[in-house]
Each structure stands twice: as structure tokens, then as C-alpha cells.
Chains A and B, each alone.
Chain A
Amino acid sequence: MYATLTGISFLILFSVIFLSTTRFMRHQIDDSVASEVGEILADSPGRSVDAIQGVVQALAKHPSGFYYLLQDANGAVRAGNLPALDPREGIREWPQVAQGAGSAFSALRGRGVNLPGAYLFVGWSTHQLLEMEEMVVGSFAWGLAASIALALAGGLIMSGRLMHRIETVSQTSRDIIGEDLQQRLPVTRAGDELDHLAGSINAMLDRIAGLMKDLRQVTTDIAHDLRTPLTRLRQRLELANHAENDTELARTTLASAVVEIDSILAIFSSLLHIAQIESGARRQEFAVVQLSELLATIGELYRPMAEENGQVLVETIEPVLMVKGERELLMQLFANLIENGLRHTPRGSTIAILARRAERFVCVSVVDNGPGIPQQLRGKVLQRFFRLESSRTTAGSGLGLSLASAIVKVHDATLELSDANPGLNATVRLEAST
């Protein structure tokens, strides 16, 4: 394919050069012949046939590359080294190989001039022209052959390298499918399309590996988080089993077992709830929600509890903040953020709910002045089951902020955790609906 294309382009180039070269040479011949005719006529005083005959005879004696013919009106040769011709005016070629004046000549190209009572023809051998043509054709033939050979060889090498690289890619892919997700496609220094492709595939593999790691982490965490309550549950049931004579003890043990199971079920419900929200099939059912009123309700719901804990819950909420969303999910989102604040700050802390309109957005911040979250862990707290070491012992499933994060995502909003110096500032930015 590559060789064919090279051949065709070579042929086109060849024809152009060939045609222009031969045309140029014909021009050269025509010009010199025309000037020779002019000189003959100029050297012949009065342009009489006899005068021209003298000039031509003199010229024909010294071979100069030119061939001459002077014939009279009857067609008889008067001078020169050519046989008689039919008296035709202008440029003509004479294809026959003729013998004359001891010099061999092949085809001639020359100019005929009709004079009063005579015909003068001056020609030039086209031998050179033919030789030139042959040479051009010959060299081009060689060039063509060489270039096709080179093209074939180059194509083979190129495709061989390409095939080799593609083979490497598919081999690596097979290895990755097989077991080793850590492997990556080789990226050469060439920076060509294949490298771009390999780069994209590698990025995709990084993402997949990350997701796999998350999944493994979550699975381990679920197992870990459920083991503790299940172990406690087992111990209690065993205890109840032993206390056959003490019905009161059996009853209270069973009751506490039920509480334990409820906490396990709550973890599962939260996980399912997160999954359900993340699948995000609800977006079209979003309605306009009056966020100010919703936040006031939540604030009022949690205030007594905060006061009971020796914490202060304050609100600064602009009136009539409207957003599009699902009321219940938004309520859960802000409830989770507030609960998070209440749960992870000591007595005497203040938790503030700030809601305001900022251009196209409604920003709701839940700010506390507790210990906060170290910057490097802020991304992690949104993951399922992640809990700071310091809060391992407090109540909660480690799912509250993951749920909040899922709700934020389904609303096309953002949740940003930042430093409140001291404490945590959790800001949700929703698009305002009016």
C-alpha cells in the first residue's frame, strides 16, 4: 500500500520532469535551427538561389551538427547533405535514418523555409534528445525501483514496530486481566498517538485500581464494623441461653440483643440509602424547597439536645432561600452536618448554621469551634466508615458524612470542608432556584 502510493507519486513526478525536459530540449533545437536559417539567409546576398547554394555548400563541408538541404522548385537537390524532401514550411521532424555526406544521422528535427524558386531546410539531429530521454527514463526507472523497495522496507519496519507495540499493549492488558492490576502499559518517549492512547488507558487503570482499593477498604470496614456488634450480640444471646431459671435476666438480655441488632440494621440501611442516593435516579423529581424554613426546623430540632450537652447552637439564616431538591434528603444532609458538629465538639463549643445567598448560589455553612479535622484527612472523612482515631469511641457509624456527600452529589452541589480556626467549617453550596 505504502509502496504503491510511493510508486504512483514517483511516476507523476517522473512524467512532469520528463515532459518538461524534452519540451525544453525541442525548444533549444528549434531556436538554434531558426537562427542558423537566419544566418544562411543573411550571408546570401540578394537571397538568390545561387548565393544560398554557395553558403550551404560551404557550411555542409564542415560538419557542425547541423544538416542542410537546398533544393530547387523541381525538387532537385542543389546543395547540402540531405536527400530531397517535399517542400513543407515550418518545424518538421524527419524520422527516417538517412546516410549523407559521410556522417550518420538518426532522426532530424529542423525548419523548412520556402524561398522564391527553392526550398531550404536546416535540421539538427534528435539523437541527443533521444539519448537524453533514454537517460531520464532509465534513471527514473531505477529511482522508481529503489524508492518502491525502500517504501516496502520502511513500511515493513514501521508496521513491524507498530505490531510489536500493539502486541505489548495487548499482552499487558492480558496480564492485567489475569491478575496484576498494578501493571501499566509502556509509554515510549516518541509521544505519538499510541503513547497518548497508552497514557489514557493507564489513567483509566489508575482509576479502576483506586476504586478497587476503595471497594476492598469498604468491604473490610463493613466486616470490621459489624463484627463488634455481632460479637456482643452473640455474647448476650449465649448469656440468655444460660439464664434459663432467671426469666427476668433472660428478658433484659434479649431486649438488649434486639437493640444491638437494630444498630446493625441501621448500618445496613444507611449503606443501602447511600447506594440508592448515589444511583441518583431521582433528579427529575426535584421540587423547589424553602431552605430557610427547613434549616430553622432542623436548628430547632437539635437546639435542646445541644443545650443539654452544654453546647450552643446558633443560626444566621437569610429569609427565603430557595433551592431545587428533595426536601427530605436536604433535611438529612443538614441534620447530619449538625449532628457531626454536636458529636465531635466538647462542652462549651458553639455550632453555627450560616445560610446566605451568594450570587447564583445558596451557601449553607455549619461551623464549629471544636478540634476540627486535620487537612490531610478532610477528603477521607467523606468515605464510608472512615472515622478519626479520636472519635473511634463516640457513637455513630462513620457513615454520616458519606451520606451527606452522596446527597450533595445528587443535588449537583458541593460540600467543602475547611478550617474554621479552630474547628471545622462544612459548607454546602447549592444552586439557587430563583
Chain B
Amino acid sequence: MRILLIEDDRETAHYISLGLSGDGHEICMAGNGREGLQRASLEKWDLLIVDRMLPELDGLSVVQALRQAGTVTPVLFLTTLGGVDDRVTGLNAGADDYLVKPFSFAELLARVAALGRRTPRLAVETTLTIADLEIDLLARTVMRGGIPVELLPREFRLLEYLARHMDQTVTRAMLLENVWDVHFDPNTTVVETHISRLRSKIDRGQSIPLIHTLRGAGYTLRVPI
């Protein structure tokens, strides 16, 4: 992916660009809001990573200006303290996702990957299929190898989110935010237990496991290679 990083802190910028280029992305950097806005509107990008606090023009204004000009490039917003206000205003301004500093590489890479996939998938899908797992999004039913699997509503949402991001890493925080609308770290193994329950319903007795735990990063739904 071609990513523009608008961040004034050199250390953080270096850290982010190292992490992303190591994952095969092409990173360009802008050190202030004005330059960032210019480059973001003149060139073509797959993703913009915008810091909240920027010299000359703050991140919020950059995102607002871009959205008003009709730019649909996905934006990942970086904020310092996980202030609820920052997150809400960022998302209202037109950002697609946010990350609170300090964050881990795993979290950053997972978010970037998720946003990169967002654009081409505008067509409405009614079924998601991975190997012999079929998810009917309208009837909200699941079949594994042709046999119906009974899921609780929340388990269905969990599986749906994983399936929509199949082959990608999905972090604990992403699941908490998107499945439960929980925006804090519960510090416990709540997500793990939900995943293991879902896994027991989807994968138990199957020769090919689909739900995988990526140590230190998160989870993924994919056909093992």
C-alpha cells in the first residue's frame, strides 16, 4: 500500500515507517499539517495516517479539509491519551479508525491492513465463504461443511467481523470496539474466552481449523497454508 504519514514527531514517524515498510508498504512522510494536506490532496494514496497534534494545521482540520474536498482515502487517526472526546471528534471529522499512542506494531499493522481492504469492498455481500464455512449475512445463519452451526447473536457478530477481515490479523482491541462497542482495555481474558467458545463451535471435530491465534498480535480467520 502507498501510505502518507503526517506526523511531526520524528521518532514516532521513524518507528511507524520502519514498521510499515517492513510489512511491505510504501511510506511517505509529511512533518506538518499544511504539507500533509497538500500532499494528501495532490497525490494518490491508499491510506493516510494523521496525528492529532500537528504544527501549522492540526490533524483534525486536515481530515476535515480532505473530506470536504471529497477525498475518500481512508484515514487512520493517531491520538495521545485515549480521551473519548478526541476519538469521537476524530471519527466525526471523517477519520475511519483511530489509534491511541503508545500502540504496538501488531495493532498498527492490523489496523492498516483492515483499512486498506475497506475501499474495494463497497459491493453489498450477502454471504461470506471460507473453505467449507458459509456465513449467510441476511439470514444470520452459519454452516460448516453443510451442517448448521448454532451461534448466539454476539458469537455471530464476532465470526462475521473475523470473516470480513479474513486472512488479516484482528486484534483484541479491534474485536472489543467492533463487536461489543467497548473502547477500553478490560485487562482480562474476556476476548480469549469468547474466541475459544466460537472456536469450539466452528472448528471442533473439523480437520481444517479456521480460527487461529497469532501470539502477541490477535486472531485471524483463514485457511491454513
Interface set of A (CB-CB < 8 Å, partner B): 255, 258-259, 262, 265-266, 269, 272-273, 276, 282, 285, 297, 300-302, 304-305, 307-308, 326, 328-329, 331-332, 335, 339, 342-343, 395-397
Contact = CB atoms under 8 A, between A and B. Distances in A.
Given A282-B84, A301-B180, A396-B187, 11 more contacts: A258-B104, A265-B102, A300-B154, A301-B186, A302-B190, A308-B193, A326-B84, A328-B184, A335-B186, A339-B186, A339-B188
A302 B186 CA distance: 10
B11 interface: no
Given A265-B102, A266-B187, A304 B84 contact: no
Contacts of A276: 81, 83
A269 B190 contact: no
B81 A305 contact: no
Interface residues of B, number: 24
B168 to A, nearest CB: 21
Chief secondary structure at chain B's binding surface: loop
Contacts of A305: 188-190, 193
B216 to A, nearest CB: 6
Given A266-B185, A297-B181, A335-B182, A328 B84 contact: yes
Interface in B61-85: 81-85
B183 A328 contact: yes
A331 B182 contact: yes
B104 to A, nearest CB: 7
A409 to B, nearest CB: 17
B187 A339 contact: yes
Mostly helix, strand, loop or mixed at chain A's interface?
helix
Contacts of A262: 104
Contacts of A329: 84
Interface string B85-103: 1000000000000000010
B194 interface: yes
Given A258-B104, A262-B104, A328-B183, A301 B190 contact: yes
B25 interface: no
B197 interface: yes
Which 5 residue pairs of A and B lie closest in terms of their CB atoms, listed nearest first?
A304-B193, A305-B193, A308-B193, A332-B184, A305-B190
A397 B188 CA distance: 12
Interface string B187-202: 1111001101100000
Contacts of A397: 187
B192 to A, nearest CB: 8
15 contacts: A258-B104, A259-B216, A262-B104, A265-B102, A282-B85, A297-B180, A301-B194, A304-B193, A304-B194, A308-B189, A335-B182, A339-B186, A342-B188, A395-B187, A397-B187
A269 B193 CA distance: 25
A415 B103 CA distance: 33
Contacts of B196: 304
A255 B194 contact: no
Contacts of A272: 81
B182 A301 contact: yes
B120 to A, nearest CB: 32
B219 to A, nearest CB: 15
Contacts of A255: 216
A82 to B, nearest CB: 109
A269 B104 contact: no
Nearest to A308: B193
A308 B188 CA distance: 12
A329 B216 CA distance: 27
Interface string B160-190: 0000000000000000000011111111111
A258 B183 CA distance: 22
A379 B83 CA distance: 28
A305 B189 CA distance: 7
Contacts of B102: 265
Nearest to B189: A305
Contacts of A339: 186-188
Contacts of A335: 182, 184, 186
Contacts of A297: 180-181
A211 B196 CA distance: 46
Nearest to B106: A258
Nearest to A306: B193
A313 to B, nearest CB: 11
Contacts of A326: 84
Contacts of A307: 193
B128 to A, nearest CB: 23
A315 B154 CA distance: 17
Contacts of A304: 190, 193-194, 196-197
Contacts of B154: 300
A328 B180 CA distance: 11
Q: Which of B83, B85, B193 has most chain A Cβ within 10 Å?
A: B193
Nearest to B105: A258
A395 B190 CA distance: 14
A272 to B, nearest CB: 6
Contacts of B81: 269, 272-273, 276
A134 to B, nearest CB: 90
A272 B186 CA distance: 16
A305 B182 CA distance: 16
Contacts of A300: 154
A6 to B, nearest CB: 67
A316 B83 CA distance: 32
Contacts of B190: 301-302, 304-305
A329 B85 CA distance: 12
A326 B102 CA distance: 24
Contacts of B183: 328
Interface string B106-143: 00000000000000000000000000000000000000
Contacts of A342: 188
Contacts of B185: 266
A332 to B, nearest CB: 5
